Amino acid sequence: MDSSGSDFSAERYFATQPPPPSLDEDIARVRTFIRHQLQAGRKVVLVTSGGTTVPLELNVVRFLDNFSAGTRGATSAEYFLKAGYAVIFMHRQFSLQPFSRHYSHSTHPFLDFLEIDPSGSNNIQITVTPSERDQLLEVLTAYKEVHRLGTMHTLNFVTVNDYLWLLRAVSKELSVLGRNALFYLAAAVSDFFLPRQKMSEHKIQSGKGSLHIEMDQVPKILKPLVDEWTREGFIVSFKLETDPALLIPKARTALETYGHQVVIGNDLHRRKFEVVFVSPREPCSSGKTNDAESTFVETWIRIDLAKDPKKEIEEDIVQELVNRHHSWIQQSKQS
Ligand code: PMT
């Protein structure tokens, strides 16, 4: 074990676990994208979204998964784009994506609101159900504009290993933007994994009674992210809990341990209408703080879905972050 109590330090992790085969190509594209945004003078946000898997075999048949549909990440990415940011959307393959999320096959299937208009036999037209047109027009217009401007770049991960390698490489690339880079780490990342060296090559066979697997702890990646890979970026992590009493203490501990800018706490069952921003309090003139109460400040964001069922809490989360990121950039200009 290393001093942080984890089986693997980040350094040891990357020295022993192989990178995904497409890493170099993926990062070359990210580099080009960032260069383009730098020239255009845009801020860039890295949004991570969806859950990571932990394969149990090298020829993978079985894996552990992490809960997350990718709603938080995909929705937030749209609001960042609307706010003028360029977005690197790093998401679990097949999880929700910006724009197409409005037409999820399970909740709002696209084919259900297309109609065939056979008015001319040689000229069949496909039309959109009138009640869906306004929303489709709005989504499509925003989507086309993002394509025209080239302000979104998409990356995929599946396993926790893919995620860690990509996060490290992308964050190093983003460091050229200094304070203009924002990290919005909404992915649900596995805490445990099976190192390649311990994996069975072939499908684990049943018939030998119960299965015992000992997993190693995934290194806490926020530490090197803040200290080494991207020292100036504005870093926002998420904390998901099912016991509301743990939300604020755990968020404070994360800030104490990693030294980043904001933890957004969300309770599993309330996350669509309530989140809490926890951040270090600005030092007062005496520079002294006594305890956690005065060291951290909490800001709750709540929306009333009964009054406004179409409202998305991500709109307010992103607005708050855009303001804070702006102040963060201004501070560095003054000092
Ligand atoms: O996608 P939805 O269904 O809308 O759900 C959204 C969400 C509830 C998953 C999201 O809002 C959320 O809370 N995501 C973080 C959940 C989580 O896994 O928390 P954590 O305690 O494991 O990690 C804390 C932070 O550190 C996260 O920002 C994570 O990206 C990051 N992390 C965690 C472990 C690790 N080894 N490296 C990391 O970078």
Dist. CA 182 → ligand 1 center (Å): 16
Using CA positions, which residue lies closest to atom 11 of ligand 1? 186
Is 184 inside a domain boundary?
yes
Same-domain check for residues 170 and 279? no
Give the residue numbers spanning the domain of 266.
Answer: 234-335
How far is residue 319's CA from residue 324's CA, in Å, rounded to a whole number? 9
Helix, strand or coil, per DSSP, at residue 299: strand
Is 146 inside a domain boundary?
no
Dist. CA 48 → ligand 1 center (Å): 9
Is residue 101 within 6 Å of ligand 1 at its C-beta?
A: no
User: pLDDT for 41-78, tens place per residue?
Assistant: 999 999 999 999 999 999 999 999 998 999 999 999 99
14-36: average pLDDT: 97
Is 113 inside a domain boundary?
no
Is 121 inside a domain boundary?
no
Same-domain check for residues 161 and 244? no
Same-domain check for residues 60 and 86? yes
Same-domain check for residues 228 and 242? no
Dist. CA 76 → ligand 1 center (Å): 14
Same-domain check for residues 282 and 166? no
Is residue 263 within 6 Å of ligand 1 at its C-beta?
A: no
Same-domain check for residues 323 and 270? yes
Q: Helical H runs in the chain?
A: 10-16, 23-40, 71-82, 130-149, 160-174, 222-224, 244-258, 292-295, 313-334
pLDDT value of residue 283:
62
Atom number of ligand 1 nearest to Cα 160: 36
Cβ(33)–Cβ(88) under 8 Å?
yes
- Domain holding 241: CATH number? 3.40.50.10300
Is 156 inside a domain boundary?
yes
Same-domain check for residues 70 and 157? yes
Per cent of the chain over pLDDT 70 is 94
Using CA positions, which residue lies closest to atom 16 of ligand 1? 188
pLDDT value of residue 26:
98
Is 124 inside a domain boundary?
no
- How many folded domains does the chain comprise? 2
Same-domain check for residues 226 and 321? no
pLDDT value of residue 111:
92
Atom number of ligand 1 nearest to Cα 219: 36
Atom number of ligand 1 nearest to Cα 264: 13
Dist. CA 256 → ligand 1 center (Å): 17
The answer for residues whose C-beta is within 8 angstroms of residue 334's C-beta and 6 or more apart is: none
User: pLDDT for 125-170, tens place per residue?
Assistant: 899 999 999 999 999 999 999 999 999 999 999 999 999 999 999 9
Top mutation candidate among 92, 239, 276 for ligand 1, by most atoms within 8 Å of CB: 239
Q: Is the pLDDT of residue 3 over 50?
A: no
Q: Is the pLDDT of residue 285 over 90?
A: no
228 is written with which tokens?
């080494």
pLDDT value of residue 192:
95
pLDDT value of residue 33:
98
Average predicted confidence (pLDDT) for the chain: 92
Task: Name the pLDDT band for 118 (thresholds 50, 70, 90).
Answer: confident
Q: Is the pLDDT of residue 282 over 90?
A: no
Same-domain check for residues 218 and 255? no
Of 102-106, 131-135, 271-275, the one with minimum mean pLDDT is 102-106
Same-domain check for residues 312 and 218? no
Same-domain check for residues 75 and 57? yes
Is 263 inside a domain boundary?
yes
Is 26 inside a domain boundary?
yes
Same-domain check for residues 226 and 243? no
HSE of 210, CA atoms in CB hemisphere, 13 A: 2
